[in-house]
Amino acid sequence: MSKPLHQLAEVLVKRSMAVLVSDLLDDPEQVLKGLKHLRFRGTDVIVFHVLDTAELTFPFSRTSRFVDTETGDEVLAAPAAVREDYLKAIGAAVAGYERELRVAGIDYVLADTARPLDFALLSYLSTRAKRG
């Protein structure tokens, strides 16, 4: 994701707006560099971090096979054995993105797929309008 973000930063003119809708499941350091590059170049950046409810809550109870849809890699896991570590890791990833992006002046919205994306967008726009 980093390369396209840097390319976009180079072609957008000042007073532009970029909206990224993504699960951000990539190298966080590189994603942040690309987003900060956009912001540094004067672009107003909004990030909608879209995650499935199951990714946020890890509701699994039986041993399950998890498949990476991008690589096809499979992992067999007992949810009770990995739930706590997984939830800590996903919580840390979300908190890290939120913190780093806010410090950079980039708007961050966590969007749960249990709700339509337009709900997250309308909620964000309402909040942004109140800020002035």
Strand 74-77 versus strand 107-112 pairing type: unpaired
Whole-number pLDDT of residue 9 = 86
Cβ neighbours for 91, distance < 8 A, ≥ 6 positions apart: none
The total domain count for the chain is 1
For the chain, 132 residues long, the average pLDDT of each consecutive 10-residue run is: 86 85 93 95 94 95 89 92 95 97 96 91 87 74
Whole-number pLDDT of residue 132 = 67
Contact status, residue 38 vs residue 8, Cβ threshold 8 Å? yes
Whole-number pLDDT of residue 108 = 96
Whole-model pTM?
0.86
Whole-number pLDDT of residue 3 = 87
Domain of 26 in residue numbering reads as 2-131
What is the SS3 assignment for 65? strand
- 77: phi then psi, degrees, rounded to nearest 5: -140, 145
